[in-house]
Chains A and B, each alone.
Chain A
């Protein structure tokens, strides 16, 4: 693709989250719609301006997601996208929306998501009743008790085996992320923790402890994009889409070509090339942290350090407030919120950091940000690089 096709031609002009945390009195559709309204209001746009809709819902009732959400909100899009690649979908949608806007297929794109992931389980995180008969290829995994955390644990075990990565190094990520969360009043978990706290928390699937795992919450989020030309007349300072990339390598963890490397190796390379920036230009990073190991593998795959050196990279609270690699500045999926598909929140925080709206957790002089979503079981990635205008 000609990088100049997108470069600084498309802007993010509105971002918002809905009520988050435990919101049992609201449906996932309402959370998605309320976040959409807030993001449109912020931009100074209305739902009638929206002609491109990008959304997916993973749980029951999620079929035909974009049609369902368009109907729910009374929107008639002429560009529609329900690409369903897990938590990275919403980061990949930024690429899809930017392309659609740049080519004139739509003018105002709304990306939205809502989930009542904790309320659907009666307020308690834990096993959910699955199907008793498994159709399709997952019949070669589910009868063995595979789970999301079990899948990521297999990647962590392999990384430790190949590179000597330690549980202490993984815990550094959880501790740093909680430090950021302590500065965000919206974060669900705000009490500071130590490496010992992580190591002493219950083992869920070795080597991953409870505090290596993301939260389970309800939440909605929305992102609005339009052309840079139109963005200049809107209410918020535009944030430009500099470069994007997306890729997926497998669906099931047993089919992952290399348990220590994610598709971010592909999507990240594309995003950096198209943005025309280098790793040293990144001021703030929002990396989907479904588990601590997700972050470590992503940092390596994106090329912030060499393969196998992710453990050393995050040592000494490097990603915490005051460290030289500010990451997951709203508190991440580990401590802020995690409705099952977190990707949209990496975009929202990256935009807020570039606008300078983050108060006590603001990264000084943030001009270029990277957001990376990971979906499935380390299966898919979407990477975007955004710039302050």
Chain B
């Protein structure tokens, strides 16, 4: 079976993926302007300073948009369809791409409250996911 595409951590993202492997969900907050951002970067996308800190996110989010995908762009997802592709808005503000799992795909709606959970895809990689709640 073809493996799904997996993240290759790099300078900006090593901390994030390391935390995910430990089932912790962390995001960046700017020490200068105070805004949170996602995805992790080497600078703040709001004020372009480099004074970023990692914070433990609440893991609470709201579905901003969702789509039940019956076909994926990569053959690694063939066995997973249909799956829910979603953009969620984190309680801290930023939005991120994810899947909504542990539920009937058709039951996911915009505005639904969701909670982070973790999918240990391989021995090395864990993906933060979201489930209803």
Contacts and interface: CB of A to CB of B under 8 A. Distances in A.
Contacts of A128: 73-75
B70 A143 contact: no
A144 B71 contact: no
A155 B85 CA distance: 12
A286 to B, nearest CB: 27
Nearest to A139: B7
Given A132-B5, A139-B7, A161-B65, A146 B96 contact: no
Interface in B90-107: 95-99
A205 B5 contact: no
B14 to A, nearest CB: 11
A144 B8 contact: no
- Size class of the A contact interface (CB-based, 8 Å): 35 or more
Interface string A125-169: 011111111111101111111111110011111100100000000
**Sorted from nearest, which 10 A-B pairs have the closest CB atoms?**
A147-B73, A139-B7, A153-B67, A254-B97, A158-B65, A140-B39, A133-B8, A154-B65, A145-B77, A206-B68
5 contacts: A127-B73, A143-B121, A144-B99, A150-B67, A206-B67
B43 interface: no
Contacts, number: 136
Contacts of A127: 71-75, 77-78
A157 B65 CA distance: 6
A259 interface: yes
Contacts of B73: 127-128, 130, 145-150
Contacts of B127: 143-144
A144 B98 contact: yes
B36 interface: no
Interface of A: 126-137, 139-150, 153-158, 161, 202-208, 252-255, 259
Contacts of B50: none
A137 B16 CA distance: 12
Interface of B: 2-10, 13, 38-39, 64-78, 80, 83, 85-87, 95-99, 110-111, 121, 125, 127
B39 A145 contact: no
B68 A145 contact: no
Nearest to B105: A206
B64 A145 contact: no
B70 A144 contact: no
B26 to A, nearest CB: 13
Given A128-B75, A133-B6, A205-B70, 16 more contacts: A127-B78, A129-B74, A132-B6, A135-B8, A139-B13, A144-B98, A144-B127, A145-B74, A145-B80, A149-B71, A157-B110, A158-B64, A203-B68, A204-B71, A205-B68, A206-B70
Contact of A130 (B5, B85, B99, B121): B5
A144 B98 CA distance: 6
Contacts of A141: 97
Contacts of A148: 73
Contacts of A133: 5-8
Contacts of A136: 10
Contacts of A150: 67, 69, 72-73, 85
Nearest to B127: A143
B132 to A, nearest CB: 17
A142 B39 CA distance: 13
A205 B69 contact: yes
Contacts of A158: 64-65, 110
